[in-house]
A and B are shown apart, each in its own frame.
Chain A
């Protein structure tokens, strides 16, 4: 089988997939769960419960508040302790529902059996409705509400559904384990998404560092209209624009979306959640999170309820090693260091990475030596050194013509910089400011 990849830029950081091949372990619910109402891109959901209310697993506790928004369900059963401000991953306080867990009572409508259900008779519209009802968002990390993606804008047509099984971030193995253990359900989920989108062709892209997953999925998809394509290992292949380029050789235009070239991309986790929502009536209440790190005793893939504290996950993986210097929410390339581990797992949490003292230290920032390595590795064809300087000098209006909004924040530039310059930090700041300027000019 020939391996494909995207053409422009990219890096290959050491993979460190420590938890690869480890079975998914289902963790029991925590004692207290904290479920934020803003776990997705778009408008925060509207809380429906009050202090003292009894809730069951799968019960709707916050409803979609707008077109780009989604539902949030209780992941545990018990009593609502508080609807209040709780710390999120950035340390800022945001509205969340705190639930004291009592037992594990599920709504009767949810099918909890392991039986595989195939061949849905539901029309496409109902599939989309179920996805919204179940509160499904992109589980690759961007957490964009999935039902919105399934609605193809007028004048555009979807031709391909791409399923992202790339998992190009080092250390993370959550999607890998899903493909290995839930392959049949995954296929069913992909077929549901195809139906919801109205496309005939789907391609599942998997990087070549997971040969077992490629083999397994190839066996499973035989006889269906889904194909599996192996990909050369290169970061950031999991970015949707890079994946479209790698699998179909199509270039998403600047400022555009994959639908502009007739493609919609979903993560494998999202496809599985779709299967559970449509076939099993099970809302998105849990997800697989990789807890990993070189000093960690048991790097694992845990199936955890949304709202479980991160500290509980680390405890289950053997406890916080003494030499831990940073706890990263996500992978090492795009993840963010946490200032506290008393925060809940949310829909977008893909991994918890513990970094020890020797790895964590940032190198001293030195002057730019104009080597243009950052330009070479940028998968979007930008000039990171220039964007950083513009941002540093607050010349935000000059950043827009330099296409700063195309930046996917993959961090390849910062990773490769021999002077250890914080390129992405400044570019992200500039992106935020340019976004503000653009919104302000739209509002006028």
Chain B
């Protein structure tokens, strides 16, 4: 028996789903309110500008210059200095977690500088947190350069000077980069959960079997199930967008049309992914496990949200390409901060569209297998 795709059947399913959603505060909350709260909350929480890094100081020279050096640490908002208490074992403060850095200035520090030699200060850094250590190293470089040029009189004595200009985010506000990424993580995971759970429930309570015994085709069911949630997801994005603009004053420099298209594609892909999970697992418990495995850690860690994709080994750089959030992150960051026109984003758009098609086709196919044994 060959059955053709009939739009009004898909729409009928969609209509039923809409009524279902309207009656169910759970789904509405999950799709609209939760993303709003999460983006707001984590937008405020996440900050990579380390301030007040604790420095234990062992100033054995106690001269004008050594005190000056300590002052250049304490004057910076990045460091907070205190006198180290365990002479002879400067690493102890770090072992006990009381300091991130221990600095030892040997006696003779000032004398060495005045005799026009290069003087050293010993720095011990806690290496348990790589991210922090990396930032600390950059801060230390800044202090060292500033102090050296203060010693030699004028900073202009550098033969080659490099001036950096930061385009798109001149003040290097980390929120501008974190918040768009957060939008991706939160909407992606919630979209997967939305369809995975609602449809798995219908498998569990048998209403899906009933639907399958009607003349509706799997493709119609899949479309009918996804469409209402796309609407819901887009509504959620509108709220999240407002939060990003108003609460975190992230600029938006791209076109709304491109943003809308990208959101539509990404939400559809994630929803289809959830649907596929539910069609395969058919049990809420398993659907939940699978959704969390797929939707939580990989997007957080592999989509370029924080950890740079370009630094990954080649194989893993290719592997990230199967993650829809990776592409959406690239699009949304570009649209918010750079405003590159659509032509510059063709590859991510094609990738997202391709994945949407693949997931929808796979979900329909899995349905079909049970339908026509």
Are chains A and B native binding partners rather than an unrelated pairing?
no
A binding-site residues for B, Cβ under 8 Å: none
B binding-site residues for A, Cβ under 8 Å: none
